[in-house]
Structure 1
Amino acid sequence: MSVQQQITTYWDDRAPAYDAAQHRPGRDAEADLWADVWSSALPADPVDVLDLGTGSGHAAIAVSRLGHRVTGLDLSTEMVRLARRRAGGMANPPRFVVGDAADPDLPGTFDVLVSRYLLWTLREPEAAVRRWQRLLRPGGRLAMVDSAWFPGGLPGAEGPFGAAYDDRVRRVLPLAEAGSIEPTADLLRDSGLVDVEVTPLHALLELDRETGAAPGHEPRLQHLLTARLPG
């Protein structure tokens, strides 16, 4: 089993619980907060957007509700199945496809690439970000939300997570144990992207403190990272 297959198998198994955690009760304000995050980073007029590592479609659905034309991409077939179910009945649903976020093989190009909670678990991210640039139109943008989720190191080998994210996997995930968001921002800068900005999302942190973070997580400050392809 390859490193990516090992990661994907974990998220296939984890998909129902992960999706439930993303839509847990008591977080009525969350949809508005995420709408603010994405609208601050995307053009006001409808554009073509690719959501990399879409999971069960949280970002793709939120961006579609802003009026954009969205494709969501994920290697986990179970996540994609749940995303399609979540988007059922929408007036402007995203298109969800199975594919590798680290090496996307899609026809055409996009105005904006987005992701939510992908960068920390992105294998060989330097190569991945260079590949992403081939999918962006000149002047296209990246808008990605992530955090330093495991500044003290990933959990040990006990349990499904630790078994999946073993030493072999960790060696190709340099951002997984970053102590801050700065290595992620530096990755975007070093790839040749310009206008890299990091915006702390304090409102999301306060919501997590008030209502509780996702199971197994502590409230952590998340950041919106934006960048632009020259041209």
Structure 2
Amino acid sequence: MPENSASIASFWDAFAASFDEEADHGLRDPHVRAAWAGRLRSWMPPSPADVLDLGCGTGSLSLVLAEQGHRPVGVDLAPLMVEQARRKLTAAGFDALMTVGDASNPPARAGMSFDVILSRHLLWTLPAPDQALRRWIGLLRPGGRLVLIEGRWASSEPGEDQSYEVGSGAMPWMGGVEAEQLVRALRPLVKTLSVEPLLDPALWGRSVQDERYAIVAFA
């Protein structure tokens, strides 16, 4: 766990009740949900696949994956976020493990071998993202894939600038990471990778002007 893990967890727990109000967080809008479901389907292997959803938040992507026939496991540092995720998956009739833990170094109880490791907008929160990438790739089965949904934001999202005082100075990718930089970090670790721009307003519930993309990398 990071030294300031309790502070980080408390920071994100403060957003748990309202987190899903953002269109791309809660996926409550059917058009936004359909857009993400389509992208996830294109990035995943045939179902059922074992998918580790790191920084799962309130479990919205895990729920879509479960609906598509996959077996998601969610890990997040914030207990109230995980509680929301558990309720969401259970209410939909899925028995999926959603557990509290350090997404940069997933706990053994989450599992040690996966077909897919997925993270969305997580890397900027990590003090050592390069180390995390190596750990994640080490959890992939032969031929497994790493799916990273990332971006470089022209301005911080509400609540993610000066409010993120629990170690922001130690976050090398604070504010996001450009695709070119992330590709450079990944190339020595994987066999192949591809970059897909994610600028469709349907994904975010609004138009976006900053850099947003997905990288699918194969171990």
Band the TM-score falls in, shorter-chain normalisation: 0.7 to 0.9
Asked if structure 1 preserves the Cα contact closer than 8 Å seen for 2:123 and 2:129, the reply is yes
Which residue identity lines up with residue 226 of structure 1 in the other structure? V
Gaps of 5+ in 2: none
**Corresponding residue of 2:213:** 223
1:18 aligns with 2:19: yes
Structure-1 separation of matches of 2:81 and 2:39: 23
Aligned length: 214
User: What is the deviation of 1:207?
Assistant: 5.4
Q: Where does residue 182 of structure 2 map in the other structure? A: 184
Q: TM-score, normalised by structure 1?
A: 0.81
Equivalent residues of 1:49, 1:111 under 8 A apart: yes
Contact 1:48 1:69 in 2 (8 A): yes
Q: Closer, same or farther in 2 for the Cα pair 1:179/1:50, shift >3 Å? A: closer
User: Match of 2:192?
Assistant: 195
Gaps of 5+ in 1: none
Q: Tell me, what secondary structure is at the counterpart of 2:167?
A: helix
Change (3 A) 1:207 1:54: closer
Change (3 A) 1:67 1:206: closer
TM-superposed CA distance for 1:111, in Å, is: 0.8
Offset, 1:219: 5.5
- How far residue 177 of structure 1 moved from its aligned partner, in angstroms, is 3.2
Q: TM-score, normalised by structure 2?
A: 0.85
Whether the 8 Å contact between 1:51 and 1:73 is mirrored in structure 2 is yes
In structure 2, the CA distance between the partners of 1:104 and 1:202, relative to structure 1 (3 Å rule), is same
Equivalent residues of 2:58, 2:85 under 8 A apart = yes
Query: How does 1:85-96 map onto structure 2 within 5 Å?
Result: 85-96=87-98
What whole-Å deviation, never above 9, does each CA across 1:107-132 have from its counterpart, x for those lacking one?
43111101122122222101111111
Q: Which is further off, 74-83 or 177-186? A: 177-186
Q: Which amino acid is 2:10 matched to?
A: T
- Write the distance in 1 (CA, Å) between the matches of 2:75 and 2:95: 14
Q: Does structure 2 conserve the Cα–Cα contact (< 8 Å) formed by 1:67 and 1:92?
A: no
Mapped partners of 1:146, 1:139: distance in 2: 22
How far, CA to CA, are the matches of 2:137 and 2:145 in structure 1?
Answer: 9
5 Å-filtered alignment, 1:23-172, equals 23=26, 27-106=29-108, 107-149=111-153, 151=154, 161-166=160-165, 169-172=167-170
The 1-side partners of 2:160 and 2:215 are apart by 26
Shift of 1:227: 0.4
Over the matched positions of the two proteins, sequence identity in percent amounts to 32
Query: How has the CA–CA distance of structure 1 residues 187 and 4 changed in structure 2, closer, same or farther, with 3 Å as cutoff?
Result: farther
Output the CA distance in 2 between the equivalents of 1:54 and 1:224.
16
SS across alignment from 1:16: coil
State the one-letter code of the partner of 2:214: L
CA RMSD of aligned residues (A): 2.5
Moved more, 68-77 or 180-189: 180-189
Distance change >3 Å, CA 220–CA 63, structure 1 → 2: farther
Partners of 1:6 and 1:12 lie apart in 2 by 10
| Pair 1:68–1:60, CA change in 2 (3 A) | same
Between 52-61 and 89-98, the greater mean CA deviation after superposition: 89-98
